[in-house]
Structure formats: C-alpha cells, structure tokens
Amino acid sequence: DQQVKQNSPSLSVQEGRISILNCDYTNSMFDYFLWYKKYPAEGPTFLISISSIKDKNEDGRFTVFLNKSAKHLSLHIVPSQPGDSAVYFCAASDLSAGGTSYGKLTFGQGTILTVHP
C-alpha cells in the first residue's frame, strides 16, 4: 500500500512558466516532507523540505505548500528553466517516532518534469 503517491507520471512546461508538482499521502503520522530531484544516472538530490507545523516553505525559485487536512503537498517552481528537467520525488517521514526513524523516508514514484526552451 503506497503511502505517498505522485499521480502525475510526467509534466511538460514552457521555460519561464510555473511548474506545479503534486503529492498526496495517506499516513497521518507523517510530519516532515521533502522534495528530491534526480537526474539520469545520478542519485536523488535534496531540494526543499517542510515540517508539518508550517504550510509553506520557500527557497529561491522553489516553494513547497503543505495542506495537512487534505494530506497534500505541492512543489512550485517559478520560473521554470530547462535545467530543471529531471525526475522529482516527494518523500515523507514520521519524526515523532524518534531519532532512529529519521532517514526512513517513504517516497512517491516520481514525476518527470520536462521544461521546454
């Protein structure tokens, strides 16, 4: 049973426009959420995170929004650039379970973002 789902396998956006990647989760114990970016033949790279005590976190062109009641988060990239083309993974963890559970991330299956020049 997948507890983190990214229902859009792919997204295509024009350079300069906004990219919105979505993620849904089912486990109400999740209290920390992350987005990772992955290029082919490389490992995932951390992009941005958000704690459940917040509903928004911004870092440059990247903003993550969290809607706890809907168990939904989204990543906004503005403006999108061709170099943003990659696979984006949403991940979640339950930090309240204690330090030994830290790093036990539950990942979605990823969304392939293509930004066209």
Partner 1 sequence: DTAVSQTPKYLVTQMGNDKSIKCEQNLGHDTMYWYKQDSKKFLKIMFSYNNKELIINETVPNRFSPKSPDKAHLNLHINSLELGDSAVYFCASSQVGQGNSPLHFGNGTRLTVT
Residues that bind partner 1 (CB under 8 A): 2, 32, 34, 36, 41-46, 49, 51, 89, 91, 95, 99-105, 107-110
Residues forming a β-bridge with 75: 21, 64
To partner 1, the closest distance from the beta carbon of 70 in angstroms equals: 22
Are 90 and 106 a contacting pair, CB within 8 Å? Answer: no
Cα 40 from chain centroid (whole Å): 18
Measured from the CB atom, the residue of 27 and 49 that comes closer to partner 1 is 49
Residues forming a β-bridge with 11: 113
To partner 1, the closest distance from the beta carbon of 29 in angstroms equals: 16
Measured from the CB atom, the residue of 2 and 12 that comes closer to partner 1 is 2
Measured from the CB atom, the residue of 98 and 117 that comes closer to partner 1 is 98
What SS3 class is residue 113? strand
Q: Residue written as tokens 């997204």? A: 11
| CA atoms within a 13 Å half-sphere pointing along the CA-CB vector of 17 | 12
Measured from the CB atom, the residue of 74 and 106 that comes closer to partner 1 is 106
To partner 1, the closest distance from the beta carbon of 102 in angstroms equals: 5
